[in-house]
Amino acid sequence: MKFVDEATIEVVAGKGGNGVASFRREKFIPRGGPDGGDGGRGGTIFAVADRNINTLIDYRYARLHRAKNGENGRGSDQYGAAAPDITLRVPVGTIIHDAETGEVLFDLNQHEQKVVLAAGGQGGMGNIHFKSSVNRAPRQWTPGKEGEHRYLRMELKVLADVGLLGLPNAGKSTLITRISNAKPKIADYPFTTLHPNLGVVRTSPSRSFVVADIPGLIEGASEGAGLGHLFLRHLARTRVLLHLVDVSTPDPDADPVEQAVVDARAIVEELRRYDPELAAKPRWLVLNKLDMVPDPEDTKRRFLELYDWKGPVFGISGLSGEGTQDLIYALQDYLDAEREKEYLSQDQAEADYVAPDPRFDDKRSTADQRPAPRGDDE
């Protein structure tokens, strides 16, 4: 299936049905009074996040979504039927913008999270609501209200804990295949990966994390070169970036370590140009294809000296799997610690929350503020 991570749609909720002016007509009842029913509610359009969907391709071509109108009211106190609602199922991680203003309306980041995209119009009132002591035969009725009409832009940002970053052919797809259940296309040429791939890494029956592999970046990506810039948004929600660097080079005249340092700096520079916040995320260095160099330890030492790197670094071979176990267990421990920090901060925020005193709620009516009657006064 083709991967689509953006779509623009038009949603039109249903109009409410009209109320009706009708009067009871029965034998021997000359003044039966009004019996016009209300109109039915127009159909509402919802969006629901579904973890079983991974693309917005359904909305790339089906752009107009229109709900039906509610039925009109009828005589004999018959209310019009409400129109059926429409539910649009989208991938978890979908952000919905107002296409005209750019405002973020919804962020669907949980399975089965449900939001209203366009509310259906309320049904109009029949003349039974206008009867009074001075108006025994009202002819008033109200029309149904129009449903909401919106133009929306949907943007998918995949939800992953770890994002893989690197040049084309750095070995990202090989690594995600080695450590997870993902099966991306792998070949010996650049730009084999054409869209993001997600893989679940399980370190135990109860511990796991999600890895995202995006197309490789090249120099000039921040200005539109290559494919990677189209998918960098999918790394925005990750907790840590794995920067894969190929320390082997097919060029016999080039120093593989010096070339690897140049490549690593180019990736970081493109990341900074594209999004400084993304560049500021925690980043681990992964030196890949160490099985293809004569002296892996010397290669690693020279790279760190030239690159002047002080953060976490791992030497691996994605093809043979050497070093990958140490990497994934270190990632799992790091992610568990980050999640624990989030839980503690949430608990602290809840503990610090002070509920408003209802005595100072200005929104309450005067009647609500009167003391309740005593039992002997009732």
- DSSP codes of every residue in 210-275: EEEE-PPP-TTGGGT-SSGGGTGGGGTT-SEEEEEEE---S-TTS-HHHHHHHHHHHHHHHHHHH-
User: Residue 159 has what pLDDT?
Assistant: 73
Low-confidence residues in the chain, pLDDT < 50: 1-2, 184-194, 221-228, 363-372, 374-378
52 among the known binding-site residues?
A: no
Using CA atoms, how far apart are residues 275 and 290, in angstroms rounded to an integer?
30
244 annotated among ligand-binding-site residues: no
133 annotated to bind ligand: no
213 is in an annotated binding site: yes
193 annotated to a ligand binding site = yes
Q: How far apart are CA 229 and CA 191, in angstroms?
A: 13
Q: Say whether 88 counts as a known binding-site residue.
A: no
Q: What is the pLDDT of residue 349?
A: 64
Convert the pLDDT of each residue in 34-46 to its tens digit.
888 999 999 999 9
Q: Is 169 annotated as a binding residue?
A: yes
Number of other CB atoms surrounding residue 73 within 10 Å:
29
pLDDT for position 376: 47
Rounded-to-integer distance, Cα 91 and Cα 83, Å:
26
Query: How many angstroms separate the CA atoms of 121 and 144, rounded?
Result: 7
Query: How far is it, in rounded angstroms, from Cα 167 to Cα 228?
Result: 9
Q: What angle do CA 81, 85, 88 make, to 5 degrees?
A: 170
Confirm or deny that 179 is annotated as ligand binding: no
What does the pLDDT read at residue 53?
81
Tell me if 167 is assigned to a ligand binding site: yes
- Yes or no: domain 6-156 corresponds to CATH 3.90.1150.10: no
Question: Model's pTM, two decimal places?
Answer: 0.65
What are the φ/ψ torsions at residue 86 (nearest 5 degrees)? -120, 135
Q: Is 163 annotated as a binding residue?
A: no
To the question of whether residue 216 is assigned a binding role by annotation, the answer is yes
Structure tokens at 103: 């405002």
Instruction: Give the C-alpha separation, 183 to 314, whole Å.
Output: 23
Residue 215 known to bind ligand: yes
Q: Return the closest-CA partner of residue 210 out of 331, 110, 312.
A: 331
For the chain, give every domain's residue range: 6-156, 162-340
Q: Is 291 annotated as a binding residue?
A: yes
CB neighbours of 125 closer than 8 A, spacing ≥ 6? Answer: 19, 38, 141, 142
Residue 335: phi and psi, rounded to 5, are -65, -40
Q: What are phi and psi of 50, to 5 degrees?
A: -130, 120
Give CA–CA dist 177/266, Å, rounded.
Answer: 25
The predicted pLDDT at position 236 comes to 79
In this structure, what DSSP letter does residue 125 have?
A: P
DSSP 144-155: PPPPPEEEEEEE
Is 170 within any annotated ligand binding site? yes
318 known ligand binder: yes
Measured distance CA(15)–CA(124) in Å, rounded: 10
Residue at token pair 């097919």:
250
Q: Smallest Cα–Cα separation from 112: which of 49, 186, 178, 45?
A: 49
- Predicted local distance difference test score (pLDDT) of residue 67: 96
Q: What is the pLDDT of residues 81-99, one digit of tens each?
A: 999 999 999 988 899 999 9
- Domain 162-340, CATH among 3.30.300.90, 1.10.3450.40, 3.40.50.300, 2.60.260.20: 3.40.50.300
Whether residue 246 contacts residue 174, with contact meaning beta carbons closer than 8 Å, is answered with no
Is residue 227 within 8 Å of residue 356, measured between CB atoms? Answer: no
H/E stretch holding 95 reads strand 94-98
Rounded Cα gap, residues 221 and 332, in angstroms = 30
3 state DSSP class of 91: strand
194 in a labelled binding site: yes
Domains 6-156 and 162-340 share a fold: no
